[in-house]
Amino acid sequence: MKEATQRKSRMSMVELFYCRSKKRRVQVSDCLERYVDANAFDKKRSACWRCYQGKKTRTEFSHGA
């Protein structure tokens, strides 16, 4: 019973959200991919690397997976 009250809805890779940086709806998988690319190619100035909303989305996804 306690587990059911603490369970959150899980975010999936295909779930859409409105990205304020891109000014459009994007999939969680696209957000993750852009962040990983920025990290891998040392593009620390990219909007996806510095995006607070993306960080929140990635965190929610990782805790729900």
- 32 within domain boundaries: yes
Is residue 63's pLDDT more than 80? yes
CA distance linking residue 53 with residue 65, whole number of Å:
18
Tens-place pLDDT, residues 5-60: 444 567 788 899 999 989 999 999 999 999 999 999 999 898 899 999 989 988 88
- 17 within domain boundaries: no
How far is Cα of residue 21 from the mean position of the Cα atoms in its chain? 13
Structural domain range at position 38:
28-65
pTM over 0.85: no
**Into how many domains does the chain fold?**
1
Which pLDDT score is estimated for 8?
Answer: 53
Is residue 4's pLDDT more than 90? no
- 9 within domain boundaries: no
